[in-house]
Amino acid sequence: MQKSEGDACAPHDLAALLDSLPGMVYRCRADRLWTLDYVSAGALELTGYRPDELLASERRSYADLIIPMDRRAVEAAVESAVAAGQSFTMEYRICDRAGRTKHVWERGRLLRGEGSAAVLEGFVTDVSPLRRAEHDLRERIKELELLYEVSSIAGDEITLDEALWQIAERIPRGYSYPPEVAARIQLGDRLYTSPRFAPDPCRQSAPISVAGRAAGVLEVCRISDSEIPSARYFLREEQEMLHVIAGRIGALAERARIVEALRASERHTRELYERLPIATLVWQRRGDAFVLVDHNRAAFALSDGHVPAWVGHGLAELLPDRPELVDAMKVCVATESPLRREVELARADVPSAIYVVSFGFVPPDLVLTHVVDVTRERHLERRFQEAQKMEVLGRMAAGVAHDFNNLLTVILSYTGILEKSVAASQAAGSDVADLEEIRKASERAAALTQQLLSFSRRDIVAPEVFDLGDKVRELRGMLARLLGEERLLTVSLAGAPCPVRIGPGQIDQVLVNLVINARDATRAGGRVVIATATIEADDHDGVHLDLPPGPRVVMTVRDDGSGMDAATRARIFEPFFTTKAPGLGTGMGLAIVYGIVRQAGGAIVVDSNPGRGTTFRIYFPRDQEPLPRRGGVVLAPQSREPGGETVLLVEASEPVRRLVLRVLEAAGYRVLTATDAAEALLLCERKTSEIHLLITDLVMPWTTGASLAQRIAARCPGMRVLFMSGSSERALQAAAEVDATASFIAKPFTGEVLVGLVRRILDGGPAVS
């Protein structure tokens, strides 16, 4: 305030004026305590002490109110101003009577005198609100910076560890007043320390809690080179700031914990999805298209590693000939309900693959597909159904052949007898010719029953080990001639040996039947390929067979002919199934192939489509070493005249029994006949003379020829055995196991052959070749 000229202010007016100022006016000496000579009433508000309390400097000196950290600076400023005779302006902090820290602004000047006798006067006012506002602003900035740290930790680039290191380093920079501070954060078992931290007893700390639980502590200490312990002093605001930071760290840790838990859960879910043993593909609807956006490992494996290249492509683009799958996805999205479809996909060179695809809608625009390869199951199902059908047909064929062979034995034998008597009586030539016709017709019928037996796997064969490659090489010329000049036969044989165990002539028959079919299916210029290969036990060649595991030999016969549709394919192995014109095919070719292959313990697979040719693959178990030949029908000529031995004949079929009886009696043997095992055993009990030979059918009601022979042999040591057989290979094997010296004769046979064989057996010659 300016005072006007001549209007001098009275001293009491002046004192009142000074007392009303918002601050403290003083006059003091420049001694160490700044002893006050005058102080205005404003001192009370500024310091909490009345002027008289401050004037009595022995009770409370103003200098003592200055906080220790600032005192030296204040002293230095005053000393230099006094020395220079200048006024001084400064800011520092005092601690008032109530213990509050106040920021004060002071302006003073030297009034008179010098050195410690100098007198100073000045004005001190509280600028705390201003400084607090500034401080708060700085604090806000610091908090915002910390918030920035917090938000950056939420990103992927920074981990909680890194963030805490950064905070530990940042904290010291947040302290405005010297001396410097160092910080340490302990969180759980982790420790983050800024440089030069020392566990000082005067350090300041704030607890860190995470999700409401004590989790650690944040500490700061002052680093002072000075000996003065008060240098470690902290302000209340600093304490508050420390709590804010501790709170932020807690929030940060909590957030990191949540993020980590979320990530772990996401990883877990992803891992589940990845490790799901079902191929899973995720499609996204884009307009009318469904685009592949993701897949799991099982899908990678199922696609043989191709699936990553499909990502980003539409289903319609990937499977253009399967629009029904896109339709299924649309239905799945429209109805929001799951769907299943079975699809068969053609593959090059191997039978087609069959998949069950399940569709599930995942709002808002995803379709999840699970793909299960059911090729093996479907193939096995089909093969099982096929095998069942063939088994029934086989049994039927075997039954027919068995009865037929009995009848043919009778017809052929009586024809032989008649032929002899007609020849002896020198009857008319036409009778001889008629009998010849009967014989020929019977022989054709016998050949047909033989084919039926081949199909029904009841053909009597003595398997041997052959190299399939050798066989094909041997037959190659003949097969090429069968195909004729207009078709090309290519043979490609495995380098390794391909031993298979099979009846002699059976491979020839299989190849002939397949090559004739190939010839009939191809036009002039067509090609037929015969190949052999070996397969190790663990290869499955894309084909699922109902065969025991183990090394195999595969023979392929492929043509580029007309191929077959599914309906034809399903029936080709049935006996008498043919698509050829009457008289051109009997329909027995593949039935025989089937029977031979199954009898050899193998499997046959066909792959054919109309216009795309046909491939037959035949799998045989790979044999280890050649086996000695065993068993077999011996058709030996008569060696010696009969000697009147006793023969026990057991045969259920009356015409056969009568025929054999007649033939053997005519040959000079004594014959006992029985219709079944019980009767035969009874005859043995009552026998009056030695039985030299037992002739029995292998197939008997209630028992087998083999077990009957065993029981009778126990009573008649030295007795020889001849089995007659019309069908059963299993019965033949069983019989051979019981009696390795037994002989066999296949029905139908002629009387002449039977008599010759009986003689040879009784003479003790090798009845088994």
Ligand X SMILES: Nc1ncnc2c1ncn2[C@@H]1O[C@H](COP(=O)(O)OP(=O)(O)OP(=O)(O)O)[C@@H](O)[C@H]1O
Question: 10 Å Cβ neighbour count for 766?
Answer: 11
Cβ proximity to ligand X: between 154 and 392 the closer is 392
CA distance 697 to 712: 14
Q: Write down how long the chain is.
A: 769
Q: Does 614 bind ligand X (CB under 6 A)?
A: yes
The yes or no reply on residue 47 touching Mg ion (CB under 5 A) is no
Contact status: 454 vs Mg ion (CB under 5 A): no
Work out whether 602 is an interface residue with Mg ion (CB under 5 A). Answer: no
Q: Which does 579 bind (CB under 5 to 8 A by kind): ligand X, Mg ion, none?
A: ligand X
User: What is the distance, to the nearest Å, from the Cα of residue 208 to the centroid of all Cα atoms in its chain?
Assistant: 47
**DSSP tally for the chain: helices H, then strands E:** 23, 26
Q: Which two tokens stand for residue 82?
A: 């006094």
Question: Using the rule CB under 5 A, which residue among 224, 369, 442, 517 binds Mg ion?
Answer: 517
Q: Is 568 in the site for ligand X (CB under 6 A)?
A: yes
CA atoms of 525 and 515, how far apart (whole Å): 15
* Distance set, CA 567 to CA 429, 571, 590, 595, 608 (Å): 52, 7, 16, 21, 11
Nearest to 253 by CA among 195, 213, 194: 213
* Residue 518 near which of ligand X, Mg ion, none (CB within 5-8 Å, type-dependent): ligand X
Nearer to Mg ion, 172 or 589 (CB): 589
CA atoms within 13 A on the CB side of 29: 11
Cβ 408 to ligand X shortest distance, Å: 21
How far apart, in whole angstroms, are the C-alpha atoms of residue 181 and residue 196?
9
Q: Does 588 sit near ligand X (CB under 6 A)?
A: yes
**Which of the stretches 363-371, 477-485, 570-578, 625-633 binds ligand X when contact is defined by CB under 6 A?**
570-578
Q: Which is nearer to Mg ion, 585 or 642 (CB)?
A: 585
Return the range that interacts with ligand X (CB under 6 A); candidates 130-138, 213-221, 258-266, 571-579. 571-579
> How far apart are the C-alpha atoms of 380 and 373, rounded to whole Å?
13
Rounded Cα gap, residues 350 and 411, in angstroms: 50
CA-based nearest residue to 623, from 502, 469, 472: 502
Interface pick for Mg ion out of 216, 463, 575, 589 (rule CB under 5 A): 589
Among 398, 543, 572, 647, binds ligand X (CB under 6 A): 572
| Per-residue exposure over 78-116, b if at least 16 CB sit within 10 Å of its own CB, e if not | beebbeeeeebebebbbbbeeeeebbbbbebebeeeeee
Round to whole Å and give the CA distance between 528 and 235: 101
Whichever of 153 and 564 has its CB closer to ligand X, that residue is 564
Q: Is the dihedral of CA 647, 650, 656, 657 positive or negative?
A: positive
The span of 122-130, 247-255, 573-581, 701-709 binding ligand X (CB under 6 A) equals 573-581
**Does residue number 564 form part of the binding site for ligand X (CB under 6 A)?**
yes
What does 559 interact with, of ligand X, Mg ion, none (CB < 5 to 8 A by kind)? Answer: ligand X
Residue number closest to Mg ion, CB atom: 589
Lookup: tokens for 541: 């060649």
Choice between 517 and 614, CB closer to Mg ion: 517
> 106 with 91: CB under 8 angstroms?
yes
CA distance 88 to 121: 11
> Site residues for ligand X, window 206-235 (CB under 6 A)?
none
Residue 586, interface with ligand X (CB under 6 A)?
yes
Q: Name residues contacting Mg ion, limited to 181-220 (CB under 5 A).
A: none
According to CB under 6 A, which one of 360, 585, 601, 642 is a site residue for ligand X? 585
Tokens 């004769």 sit on residue = 745
Q: Tell me the residue nearest to ligand X as measured from the CB.
A: 589
35/578 with CB nearer ligand X: 578
In the complex with ligand X, the residue whose CB is nearer, 361 or 455, is 455
Q: How many residues bind ligand X (CB under 6 A)?
A: 22
Edge-to-edge strands of the sheet including 36-39? 36-39, 24-29, 119-126, 101-112, 88-95
Q: Are strands 693-697 and 720-725 parallel, antiparallel or unpaired?
A: parallel
Is 561 among the residues that bind Mg ion (CB under 5 A)? no
Measured between alpha carbons, how far is 430 from 175 in angstroms, rounded to an integer?
138
For the chain, the distance separating the N- and C-terminal CA atoms, rounded to the nearest angstrom, is 149
CA 420 remoteness from chain centre: 76
Of 476 and 612, CB closest to ligand X: 612
Residue number, 522 or 727, with CB nearest to ligand X: 522
Q: Does 522 bind Mg ion (CB under 5 A)?
A: no
Residues 515-534 that bind ligand X (CB under 6 A): 517-518, 521
Output 122 or 561, the one with its CB closest to ligand X.
561
Structure tokens at 390: 């063939």
Of Mg ion, ligand X, none, which one does residue 707 interact with (CB within 5 to 8 Å by kind)? Answer: none
CB distance 469 to 491 below 8 Å: no
Q: Which is nearer to ligand X, 564 or 695 (CB)?
A: 564
Rounded least distance, CB 351 to Mg ion, Å: 22
**Nearest distance, CB of residue 589 and Mg ion, angstroms:** 3
Cα–Cα–Cα angle for 550, 551, 556, rounded to 5 degrees: 125
Region binding ligand X by CB under 6 A among candidate stretches 98-106, 285-293, 502-510, 572-580: 572-580
Confirm or reject binding of residue 456 to ligand X (CB under 6 A): no
Residues 35-74 that bind ligand X (CB under 6 A): none
Q: Coil, helix or strand for 366?
A: strand
Query: How far apart, in whole angstroms, are the C-alpha atoms of residue 152 and residue 728?
Result: 85
Which amino acid, residue 195? P
The only residue of 194, 562, 725, 750 in contact with ligand X, by rule CB under 6 A: 562
- The site for ligand X (CB under 6 A) is made up of 513, 517-518, 521, 559, 561-562, 564, 568, 572, 577-580, 585-591, 614
- The site for Mg ion (CB under 5 A) is made up of 517, 589
